[in-house]
Amino acid sequence: MLNLLKNRKNHIFIGFVMIFIFLAYSLYDVTITHGEEFYQKSISNRIKKIETQAKRGDIYDRNGKLLATSDIGFAIELNSSIVPTDKFSEIMIEVYDFLEAQGETHLEFPIYIENGVYKYRFDESIKKWLLNNGYDESWSAEAVFDDIRSANYIDPNLSYYEAYRILYNQGKYLPISTSKMLFLDEIYKTTFLKMYGLDSSISAEEAFHKIRSRSEFKISSDLSDQDAYKILIFKHTIKEQGYLKYEPITVASSVSKETAVLLQEKGYELPGFTIKYTTIRTYPNTSSAAHILGYMGKIASDAEIETYVNQQNYNPNQIIGKTGIEGVYEQDLHGENGYKYIEVDVYGKYVADVDEAAYGLDSKNALSGDDIYLSIDLDLQKVLEASLEKAIVTLQTGGTYESPWGNYKFDQYANAETAAGVVVNVKTGEVLASASYPSYDVNLFSTGISQEDWNALNPVNKRNPLAARPLYNSATMMAIQPGSIYKMMTGYAALEQGLNPYQKLYSDGFIEIGNQRFGCWYWNDYGGKHGLTDFFKAIEVSCNYYFFNVASGKDYYRDTPLNFEMNPTIMTEYSKLFGLDSKTGIEISEVSMGLPDPDKKKKTIMALLSTQLKLIAKDYFPENIVNDEDQLNALVNTIVSWSNDNPGRGELITRLLDLGSNSDYYITEKLADIIKYDYFNLMKWYESDTLNLSIGQGDHTYTPMQIARYIATIANGGYLNEFTLIKKIGDTNIVKNKDVTESFDKNGNLEYVKQAMLLAVQGKESSVYSIFKTMPLAIAGKTGTAQKEGLIPPLDEVTYLTEYLGEIAPSLKIEDVEAKTIEIIKSRSEEMAVLEKQKNEAATEEEKQVKSDKLDALIQKDYLNKGTAMRDAIKEMTDFSVTDEELNQFRLPYDNYSGFVSFAPFDDPEIAVVVMIPQAGHGYYSAPVARDIFAEYFHLTPPEEPIEVIDTPKLDE
């Protein structure tokens, strides 16, 4: 045995045996012991799961006309692993030249050559922004930031971050990183160069040559830089993909059908390039029903990420519905994505589709989203939109509203910029048309809206709530006073309480309460009196005096009570029957401001006082109180609580001094006057409030959609239906109001209201008689002319105050006011920065929310706006002798709202039509729009003979 071991041949043999034993063991371990594990790893490395997109459901009108669809689009994709290496450069150059010749947008390389000059796209983007904002290209990010913060009077001692937050809160967005104090494009440029191991200071030309010469790119030195650029576009994009090289590259995301066909014809010449069919959300009717349909966009907010990505497993790059039907029914329309499997090589490049059965895999076909059928009638919708636009254009110029049913001369109301209209089926609650003017082309959002287009959709004067806002749905979001449209509600409440509709009350023109005079429109405008008036005449001629009587349960002319009880609470309780205290039920976003009532009025003013006291407390109380959140809240709550007994002026000053207010009597006196005369004295419900309530003025605020529900409920005899825009989702028919089977109008008093509304259109004393006299249809309706409180804010408050300073405060010099304004802005900037810091450092979510709410309150009050600060500077420099009324004296007042509500046919109502036009002056200017809607819906034929121009009537409520 020993001799055997001494033999070298045996040593070799034994060594081989041991090696084979080890290999056998290893093979056993790999194939038997861990075989399944390694097999699965091999599969997971080679087989990749690819998501397939579901087709989004279409949206149709009630008649099956297409409103929204996902059209087939064409994208060009490159699978680089299929391209022969020796042909790569040649093919890329050919594709680039082809796309350029076709005028298609495609991938670009971060460095480009223009007239022989090499440029970074990042640098050009920065130059463009600087130029658009009044700077030349020599300005650094830090210099720009310092200049902007200086122009906005932000304390230089604040950090960049704190200063940026203040600018952000003012609505100023800068493409600058405050942590690095660089333009964002500078950071992107550095990241790009770092990818290739290049220094950020390298010139574009040198960087280009270094990148093109990299061995991994295999770009021939014989090629020109122009051709090398064409190749680098693709090489760079492939490099950016990293380990996801099996994923195709989108070369051009949206090309024409012609380009797609031509590329397919070249297929055999261009291996690796394929046409991918994509879906692009398109809206064939562009802006029609835009506010109903809504728009789409990328998943962006934290809430969207949580809902769609984390919970619903959406792709983070998915386009989703943001607003309207697209947003509300996103998950119904979206469908369910599928998936398939592909095989990749060790470098992650695509090899082939997988034989799924061989690997026990199962792909999943994508399931299309549900189609949705809306209740709206597209033809009716278009007529409503066109009529609203025509009315606005005519009002702005003082022209003639032309229609086959009669032309109508408008006075000029240049400030009329927006309008809303609603058409509903009064029996079912289905919305047949809903329009808000101006509208917008929904297609702008389909592939991502540009900054220029987005800016164009924002109002010119953002401070004016009645300025044109294309993205704003006025039909569901604009809360307005109804004016005389509410008189049917006042009348119905009185009828239910015992009013005899045939009882004649003498309308004497005006009523005096204390030093105030409340007149009927007829008295105010013409010195006239309606005389003996019953309910029907009161609606026909819109007599304010009559409704003053019935709302108070009192005959003011005879100074005697009527035979029934009425008060504001009774009126508002009846209003709830018509849904005026709630949303309409429509599926898209809407608001509901609620009904006016004494308690609500007081609570609202108390809340406003609380907010105001927190803002001005620093001017009257010690810092230790103001800077302590608990002490400040306790102080404010104490002062607000005094509203319950509304102490006299002297008593109020004494109480404030006891609370620690400024010991200077005259300073505390100013605070007392603000509290008492601007707040406390307004909290009480006065008889005058009841009179205003009765004719739709005062605290009434309803949307056109709510008003439409109110009129539909009158028309259908007291059935309060919820509104709906949906008829069918997928295969499911939606019947929303099947359980509404009982009317609240047990006494039949709505018949009197409807009869009065018929007279308000067809009666000879009606202000719209001449508008509807040619219609072969019995239409009932009512005009409304409501006053808009307040004054139109100027486009630039600073310019306005500078221009009129001599008249407002002759003793002040503009230079001194400017200096004081800057001082105030600096102080407020510091205050905002402190709040921002406290919010970020808050120990609990509750504390963070408190600070955040306070910040939001300040922002809402334009706390950092220079115009707001200048107003306060003028008041402070005049010892507050200059009031807000004096500061606003040169502003223009808002024109009256115009409203017309209606239903038809009278005997068996089918539809209600509501038209509201802010700043249109008179209620009857909305009536021609409604007339055209009735003509379209009932397919009426206009008279053959031309109808002469109808002049504006001389009388209106």
Using one digit for the tens of pLDDT, what is the confidence trace for 128-176? Answer: 989 988 898 889 999 999 888 888 877 777 788 878 877 876 667 789 9
Instruction: Note the pLDDT of residue 455.
Output: 80
Q: What is the mean pLDDT of residues 449-477?
A: 86
Percent of the chain scoring above 70 in pLDDT: 90
Instruction: Note the pLDDT of residue 956.
Output: 56
Does residue 617 have a pLDDT over 60? Answer: yes
Helix (H, G, I), strand (E, B) or coil at 250: strand
Q: What one-letter code names the amino acid at 685?
A: W
Q: What is the 3-state secondary structure (H, E, C) of 59-113?
A: EECCCCCEEEEEEEEEEEEECHHHCCHHHHHHHHHHHHHHHHHHCCCCCCCCEEE
Q: What is the mean pLDDT of residues 45-56?
A: 70
Could you tell me the pTM of the whole model?
0.81
Using one digit for the tens of pLDDT, what is the confidence trace for 798-856? Answer: 999 999 999 999 999 999 999 999 888 888 888 887 887 788 788 888 888 877 877 77
Using one digit for the tens of pLDDT, what is the confidence trace for 217-240? Answer: 999 999 999 999 999 999 998 888
Stated length of the chain: 957
Beta strands in 756-895 (DSSP E): 780-786
Instruction: Note the pLDDT of residue 32.
Output: 64
Q: What are phi and psi of 296, to 5 degrees?
A: -115, 165
Quickly state the pLDDT bin for 348 (edges 50, 70, 90): very low
Please tell me which residue, 10 or 312, carries the higher pLDDT value.
312
Which residue in 368, 374, 365, 359 sits closest to 328, CA to CA? 374
Q: What is the mean pLDDT of residues 493-517?
A: 93
Using one digit for the tens of pLDDT, what is the confidence trace for 885-897? Answer: 899 999 989 999 9
The mean pLDDT of the chain is: 87
Does residue 640 have a pLDDT over 80? Answer: yes
Q: Could you tell me the sign of the dihedral formed by the alpha carbons of 241, 245, 248, 252, in that order?
A: positive
- Spatial CB neighbours of 588, under 8 Å, sequence gap ≥ 6: 291, 292, 294, 323, 324, 325, 328, 473, 476, 725
Using one digit for the tens of pLDDT, what is the confidence trace for 167-196? Answer: 876 667 789 998 899 999 999 999 999 999
Does residue 35 have a pLDDT over 70? Answer: no
Instruction: Note the pLDDT of residue 595.
Output: 85
Which residue in 292, 438, 472 sits closest to 378, CA to CA? 292
Matching residue, tokens 């670009």: 108
Please tell me which residue, 832 or 414, carries the higher pLDDT value.
414
Quickly state the pLDDT bin for 355 (edges 50, 70, 90): low
Instruction: Note the pLDDT of residue 957.
Output: 57
Does residue 30 have a pLDDT over 60? Answer: no
Instruction: Report yes or no: 149 and 822 within 8 Å, Cβ to Cβ.
Output: no
